[in-house]
Amino acid sequence: MFLSLWLMKEDFLNKKLDERKAQNAYRELKIPEGMIDFCSNDYLGLSKILHPEFPLAVKHGSTGSRLLAGNYPLINETEEQIAAFHAAPAALIFNSGYDANIGLLSSVPQRGDTILYDYLSHASIRDGIRLSFAEAFSFRHNDLAELEEKLKKATGNKFVVTESVFSMDGDLAPLAEMMVLCEKYGAHLIVDEAHATGVIGKKGEGLVQDLNLHSRCFARIHTFGKALGCHGAVVLGTVALRNYLINFARAFIYTTALPESSVMAIRKSYEIFPHMHAEREQLQRLVTEFHHSPIKFNKQQSNTPIQAVIVPGNEAVKNLAGQLQAKQFDIRPILYPTVPTNSERLRIVLHSFNTIEQVRSVTGSLQ
Ligand SMILES: Cc1ncc(COP(=O)(O)O)c(C=O)c1O
C-alpha cells in the first residue's frame, strides 16, 4: 500500500534520475579502495599525519567530496544506522543543517512547482527556497486555514515545509493536521526536526515519528549540532530521494565531506541519546516549572526546552538580558531582524543539567 503510494509520489524524481542515466551522467557514491591518491585535496598529506594523533584513531579530514575521495565505510554505515533508528528507508548526511536545507530545498522543487512554508521558518529553509526555481509562498505561523487556501491554488508538485519545534518560539507545528491537508491536496510534507532531535519522542526520535507520521512524510531533516552535541545533519526519505540528492543537491556535491572524527562522534551520539530517558524527564520537569511560574512578561506557549519571553524593542530586551547576565545567567536577547519587530525576546533554553532552583531563580528575576 505504502509502496504504491510512494512509487506514485516519486515519479517526478525517477524521471529526472532516468534522464541522468540516459545522459550517462548518473552519480553514485563509491568507496576509494587501496588506490594511489591522485584525487583528494590532501595536498600535504596532513590528514594522514594527524590520523594517529587523534584519540579515536580516526581521520580529521575526509579529503574531498563524497563523490570523489571523501566517501568511506563509516559514513555509509552511520547513514544506515540513522535511517534504521528513524524508521526511514534511507538517510543522507550533510555537513550541517544549513547545508541540508539548502541542498534539499534548492534541488527538489522544480520550476512550475509550488513551495508553501511557515512564515517563521528558519533562515536555512528560507535560503534553500530562495535558491529554488519553484514558486514559493509563506503561510501565517501554524495557520492551517491559510495553508489550505494556498494549497488550493498551488500548481505543479506541491511542497509544504515546516519546523516541528520552532527554533525561536519553541512551539510545535500541527503536523498531523498538516499531513491530512498535504494528502488531501497531493502535497509533499518536509519537516525540519532540528530542535526535536534527541528531545521529542520516547527515544528522542523527533516529533514526526512520535506522531507516527514518518512513513507519510516526504523528507525529514535532523541536525546533529543541537541535542546531539556534534555537527552535521541528515535528510531522511526514500532511496530515490537519497539518489536524487546525491545527483542534484549542490550543497552535498560541491563540498568536502565530514571527516571520520565527526561521523564517529555522530555515531556515538546515536548510541547514547536514545537511552537518556532520565535527562529527557528532567527537561520536562524544568519546562513544566518554567511554564507554571508567573512572570511579568508575555511567554510564548511552549512545551519544549525553548522558552521565549517577549520583551518588545531591541534596547529593552538587551537591557534585561544584561541584568540576567550580571546575575550569572547566560541568557541571550534575540533582536529584530532575527525576529519580527515588537516580538524581540529572551530566548531561554532549558537543559537537563539545569536545576529547578536555577529555573526558579530566573523566573524570580522576571517577576
Ligand atoms: C530549525 C533549524 N534548522 C536548521 C538549522 C541549521 O542547523 P546547523 O546549525 O546544523 O547548520 C538550525 C540551526 O540554528 C535550526 O534552528
Mean pLDDT of 260-267: 91
Q: Report the nearest atom of ligand 1 relative to the CA of 167.
A: 16
Compute how many other C-beta atoms are within 10 angstroms of the C-beta atom of residue 173.
Answer: 25
CA 313 to chain CA mean position, Å: 29
Residue in this structure with the C-alpha cell 556515538, named with its chain if needed: 268
Digit-coded pLDDT (tens) for 275-328: 999 999 999 999 999 999 999 999 998 999 999 999 999 899 999 998 998 888
Digit-coded pLDDT (tens) for 158-175: 999 999 999 999 999 999
Q: Are 350 and 359 in contact (CB under 8 A)?
A: yes
Q: How confident is the model at residue 7 (pLDDT cuts 50, 70, 90)?
A: low
Q: What is the dihedral of CA 199, 228, 243, 95, to 10 degrees?
A: 140
The residue with greater pLDDT, 109 or 30, is: 109
Q: Report the nearest atom of ligand 1 relative to the CA of 163.
A: 1
Expressed in angstroms and rounded, the spacing between residue 97 Cα and the centre of ligand 1 is: 5
User: CA angle 77-80-84, nearest 5°?
Assistant: 145
Ligand 1 neighbours (beta carbon < 6 A): 96-98, 101, 122, 124, 163, 167, 192, 194-195, 223, 225, 233
Expressed in angstroms and rounded, the spacing between residue 294 Cα and the centre of ligand 1 is: 30
At residue 366, the pLDDT reads 93
Secondary structure of residue 88 in the 3-state scheme: coil
Expressed in angstroms and rounded, the spacing between residue 194 Cα and the centre of ligand 1 is: 6
Expressed in angstroms and rounded, the spacing between residue 329 Cα and the centre of ligand 1 is: 24
At residue 74, the pLDDT reads 95
Compute how many other C-beta atoms are within 10 angstroms of the C-beta atom of residue 39.
Answer: 13
At residue 8, the pLDDT reads 65
Q: Report the nearest atom of ligand 1 relative to the CA of 223.
A: 10
At residue 42, the pLDDT reads 72
Give yes or no for residue 50 having a pLDDT over 60. no
